Amino acid sequence: MRPSIIHKSPAGLPVAPNLADYQSERERFSWATARAELPRLPGGGLNIADCAVTRHARGPNRDQVAFRFLSEQTSHELTYGDLDAQTNRFANVLAGLGVGRDDVVFVLAGRLPELYLAVLGSLKNGTPVSPLFSAFGPEPIATRLNAGSGTVLVTTTSLYLKKVAKICDQVPSLRHVLVVPDEPDEPLPPGTRDLTGLLAGASDVFTTVATQPEDLALLHFTSGTTGMPKGAMHVHDAVVTHWVTGRDALDLHPGDIFWCTADPGWVTGTSYGIIAPLLHGVTSIVDEAEFDAERWYAILSEQQVTVWYTAPTAIRMLMKAGPELAAARPRPDLRFVASVGEPLNPEAVWWGQEVLGLPIHDNWWQTETGGIMLANTPAFDILPGSMGRPLPGVDAAIVVRGAAGLELAGEDTEGELVLRSGWPGMFRGYLNDPERYARCFSGEWYLTGDLALRDAGGYYWFVGRADDVIKSAGHLIGPFEVESVLMEHPGVAEAGVIGKPDELAGELVKAFVSLKQGYQASDELRLEILGHARRRLGAAVAPKEIAFLDALPRTRSGKIMRRLLKARELGLPEGDTSTLEGGG
Ligand code: ATP
Ligand code: MG
């Protein structure tokens, strides 16, 4: 058995962590002080893009590389000065079209420079913006454009022709479609405008609109893991959360080369793939290509990445690809690795320690929270399997439903994870659904919908989403615990666990697993995995059934969709599959 803790010694780290003393920083912290560290605009204005881009372009970071865009063949850099000029051009394009603060820009593009220019340029113009996954099909695009009353769409010629042309007339609010040609001299589809030409003709001088902190800035749709995706509304003040969490949870330092692997179509790819690293004046790597284990190891090594923010799904795929690939690419510069999006199994944290030479720091947040809330930071020990502790400025608790309503739970008691309202990055509403938003709160607490427990050291442990918890023969079983044990078996690459209705037990635990390279599905292997789970979990909690799948259904942000496993198992309708990976 491995030990249950990874000890950290801040003194031995290559760079002194920003969050050196967790307790004293929590006591000292105030959001007002953090806000005061960011530049303001006339009249008390605060604008994300001004903080992220303009102030660096006017200071010593002007010639520092802000983004290095990698594609299969090429690499293209933008300094902070370039980014400022180009986003000014984009803002001028919008202003020239009469697009203002009451409009909404949607962006549907791969991870191209124009996507980043559109997001930051819209913010400069005071226009709220919503990046979408480019892999969405026409229906999900139309649904989201309508939900957000999109007036401008930025996309590429090929995406327009493939997906948007057929739904344009279903979106009455849409006034302008700006396309980036895939090839030079490509004919412009009717009804669209050429963004490249418009940018070239626009001035690179622009005065950022002095948005107020509570003005709408970003719309992000949730991953759709548990049901129909919801549109979360975020304001410019969220920049304070991006700033603080980039410092305390991701430990960004001047000179860092940071790689956030998330697509901006998912909140992580915007909060941490665009905004937070720019706020800290570091260089971000953006890879246009999709996951490929060899390519990813090459990027970490050749780009000299120092801080890497990725997701459990990617880590599981790297684990599946075997340790030899990792060994072939030295990573002397890599200093800090973090993960978000799903529970990170202890096995994966240890894999980091053993194969990457660095433990993986799990952190927890949601589209609704706008930024990281709980984290394993460089400054304290890691308990593999735990999401870490609340960051400075974040008050978390566990509540249970008692006779008198919600009650705060004690240590080691499973209940719903709640956060005290009032941090700047918190969503300000769900699009078109004020009732649902209101239901997320009980007094001062925001109810996250996730079940967890807190131990005596203040570490939080994920149990499961409230929707996914299994009730079997009087036991409440969190899928995460069962999945983590299944992943301890050397043949298991990923596991998803559901409750299957059963007359006697209420529900019985059924597991779906995919196997690592070199393993074949067989009854023998099934019995072996069942035996391992029974030994580790006991008969009451261990799965009764295991099915082998080539791959588990996942959202585009990489989360296992247990609701789909369940619907398929029970022959029920699959519900919203707009975010299903490989669909669309
Ligand atoms: P939907 O709300 O549409 O069902 P979603 O909740 O997956 O989708 P996101 O906002 O992208 O949409 O994901 C947030 C959720 O992801 C969290 O509520 C939690 O369930 C899960 N999650 C994120 N990070 C972690 C983590 N470190 N450990 C466990 N779960 C996590
Ligand atoms: Mg959610």
Q: How high is the pLDDT of residue 11?
A: 73
Secondary structure letter of residue 205 according to DSSP: -
CA dist 516 and 316 (Å) reads 10
**Side chain identity at 188, as an amino acid letter?**
L
Q: What is the mean pLDDT of residues 101-114?
A: 97
Ligand approaching nearest to the C-alpha of 313: 1
Q: How high is the pLDDT of residue 473?
A: 84
Tens digits of residue pLDDT in 541-572: 999 999 999 999 999 888 999 999 999 999 99
Q: What is the mean pLDDT of residues 163-168?
A: 96
Tens digits of residue pLDDT in 517-547: 899 999 999 999 999 999 999 888 999 999 9
Tens digits of residue pLDDT in 251-264: 999 999 999 999 99
d(CA 230, ligand 2 centre) in Å? 8
pTM: 0.95
Among 132, 143, 219, 225, residue to substitute to test ligand 1 (most atoms within 8 Å of Cβ): 225
Top-confidence residue, 151 or 186: 151
Beta-strand relationship, 360-364 and 374-375: antiparallel
Q: What is the mean pLDDT of residues 116-145?
A: 96
CA dist 510 and 506 (Å) reads 13
Q: How high is the pLDDT of residue 232?
A: 98
pLDDT at 506 over 70: yes
Q: How high is the pLDDT of residue 12?
A: 72
**Strand, helix or coil at 194?**
strand
d(CA 464, ligand 1 centre) in Å? 10
CA dist 382 and 3 (Å) reads 11
Report whether residue 340 contacts ligand 1, using a CB cutoff of 6 Å.
Answer: yes
pLDDT at 451 over 70: yes
Q: Which atom of ligand 1 is nearest to the CA of 268?
A: 11
Q: In this structure, what token pair is assigned to residue 419?
A: 């956060």
Report whether residue 343 contacts ligand 1, using a CB cutoff of 6 Å.
Answer: yes
Report whether residue 367 contacts ligand 1, using a CB cutoff of 6 Å.
Answer: yes
Protein residue whose Cα sits closest to atom 16 of ligand 1: 341
Tens digits of residue pLDDT in 169-195: 999 999 999 999 999 889 999 999 999
Average pLDDT taken over every residue of the chain: 95
Q: How high is the pLDDT of residue 228?
A: 85
CA dist 91 and 118 (Å) reads 8
Q: How high is the pLDDT of residue 583?
A: 63
Beta-strand relationship, 470-472 and 396-402: unpaired
Q: What is the mean pLDDT of residues 298-318?
A: 96
Q: Which atom of ligand 1 is nearest to the CA of 221?
A: 3
User: CA geometry: angle at 537 spanning 514 and 451, to 5°?
Assistant: 80
**Side chain identity at 424, as an amino acid letter?**
P
d(CA 266, ligand 2 centre) in Å? 12
Q: What is the mean pLDDT of residues 402-408?
A: 90
Q: How many CA atoms lie within 13 A of 107 on its CB side?
A: 31
Split at pLDDT 50, 70, 90, the class of 288 is very high
Neighbours of 469 (CB within 10 A): 17
Report whether residue 229 contacts ligand 1, using a CB cutoff of 6 Å.
Answer: yes
CB 380 within 8 A of CB 389: yes
Q: How high is the pLDDT of residue 9?
A: 76
Report whether residue 224 contacts ligand 1, using a CB cutoff of 6 Å.
Answer: yes
Q: What is the mean pLDDT of residues 149-168?
A: 97
Ligand approaching nearest to the C-alpha of 249: 1
CA dist 97 and 119 (Å) reads 17
DSSP string, 404-456: TEEEE--TT--EEEEEES--TTS--EETT-HHHHHHTEETTEEEEEEEEEE-T
CB 400 within 8 A of CB 407: yes
For the chain, domains (ranges, CATH) are 76-236 (3.40.50.12780), 470-570 (3.30.300.30)
Q: How high is the pLDDT of residue 379?
A: 87
Q: Which helix (H) or strand (E) holds 326?
A: helix 323-327
d(CA 342, ligand 1 centre) in Å? 6
Q: In this structure, what token pair is assigned to residue 277?
A: 């690293």
CB 382 within 8 A of CB 338: no
Q: How high is the pLDDT of residue 432?
A: 96
Q: How high is the pLDDT of residue 1?
A: 60
Q: Which atom of ligand 1 is nearest to the CA of 266?
A: 11
Q: What is the mean pLDDT of residues 48-67?
A: 98
